[in-house]
Amino acid sequence: MTLKERIFKIIIKALIFLKKDLDVSRQRMLFYSTMRKDVKEMDKDQLGQLIRFTGHSLDKATKCENESVGRGKEKKELLEMAINEWERRGYAMGPDKIWAKEILKRYNLWCDGSSKLIQPSKEQIEAEIDNNLFSVIEHRRSVRFWKRKKVEREKIEKIIKAATFAPTSCNRMAWHFFVVENDFNNIVEGNSTNKDMLEKAPVRIYLAIDERLYPEIYAPAMDAGFTLQNLVLAAHALGLGSCLMYHCESVNQGWFRSNFNMPDYYRVYCAVLLGYPDEIPSMPARVSVEDATTFIEGSNKHNIGKDYFGR
């Protein structure tokens, strides 16, 4: 490589790095400027997301032994304020808002110690399931408690194989899967905090992507997403319970580089924790198709100017 080519390469690398950094800063700014707002200043979309987001935090908290671990207190206040604001504005209470209200009630019961975790019965879930694809999709849940039982190697290989049938941009298939099997000599009890889950999961699968052949910024993350969706659905179809854990910024990429010689052009995007389920999680209700969709018919001219978003 000539000196000129080398300098060119360094400049391109620096530009890509800078662009990624700018994207991350933009994302953080969007997040913090939303979270700093009073609920009264939020638009409908922000308020809806805040209700689902804080509802999820309280749902997770109720699976912990006590409040100090679950850390749901401030989220509870935020959820109450957000729901009150939603109702004050007279917006329709879709299934996701009704679910969040239920979670709030459950959290209050859990706080005063009068209620333990409420789960749907096994019979109820089994009666609803058949092997149709839609049923597998609808019944997969994030599972955060597992039996202290080894997962057979054939099953792990089968679900990774299913993951490799996912579509990838330009057919790149730039994956590498790291599988960490728990020998159960470490602590395997614990709550549903990320740290506890990482320690007790019978299996952790980390997905890394070789980013060298992507000129697009978001395609590697999308490829990871499609792949992981196949993986968690396949795990569910085989009777395993999984939970995704976003890892891009939080994981120690260096651990993979130093222990497994992972080259610097690979990035670990996500971990999937899995094992035989030791809980039957209830479903966080979904937003309605109507609320999340805009059908655009024909030339769309007559719709110009209409606001489709919850601003």
Residues in the chain: 311
Q: Does 285 engage in binding with ligand FMN (CB under 6 A)?
A: no
- Backbone dihedral region of 69: left (phi > 0), alpha (psi from -120 to 50 degrees) or beta? alpha
> For residues 184 and 246, which CB has a smaller minimum distance to ligand FMN in the complex?
246
| 114 HSE (CA, 13 A, CB side) | 5
- With CB under 6 A as the contact rule, the residue among 194, 238, 248, 310 that binds ligand FMN is 194
- Binding part of the chain for ligand FMN, among 24-32, 116-124, 155-163, 237-245 by CB under 6 A, reads 237-245
Contact map string, positions 20 to 59, toward ligand FMN, x by CB under 6 A: ------------------------------------x---
* Of 136, 179, 244, 285, the one binding ligand FMN by CB under 6 A: 244
Asked whether the beta carbons of 288 and 48 are under 8 A apart, the reply is: no
* CB-CB contact of 143 with 281 (8 Å): yes
The footprint of ligand FMN on this chain (CB under 6 A) covers a number of residues equal to: 11
CA distances from 40 to 53, 78, 82, 86, 309 (A): 17, 12, 8, 9, 17
Task: Report the nearest approach of ligand FMN to the CB of residue 245 (Å).
Answer: 4
Site for ligand FMN contains 17 (CB under 6 A): no
Query: Cα 304 from chain centroid?
Result: 34
Rounded CA-CA distance 293/30 in Å is 23
Q: How far is the CB of 281 from ligand FMN (least distance, A)?
A: 6
Question: Helix, strand, or coil here: 82?
Answer: helix
Task: Pick between residue 76 and residue 247 the one whose CB is nearest to ligand FMN.
Answer: 247
Q: Which of the residues 133 through 192 are near ligand FMN (CB under 6 A)?
A: 141-142, 144
Binding flag, residue 243, ligand FMN (CB under 6 A): yes
Q: Which stretch binds ligand FMN (CB under 6 A): 37-45, 166-174, 182-190, 244-252?
A: 244-252
Cβ-based neighbours of 142, under 8 Å, separated by 6 or more: 242, 243, 244, 281
CA–CA gap between residue 223 and residue 166 (Å, rounded): 8
Could you give the CA distance from residue 301 to residue 24 in angstroms, rounded to a whole number? 36
Looking at the Cβ atoms of 121 and 171, the one nearer to ligand FMN is 121
Whole-number minimum distance, CB 306 to ligand FMN, in Å? 31
Chain residues in the site for ligand FMN (CB under 6 A): 56, 141-142, 144, 194, 243-246, 281, 284
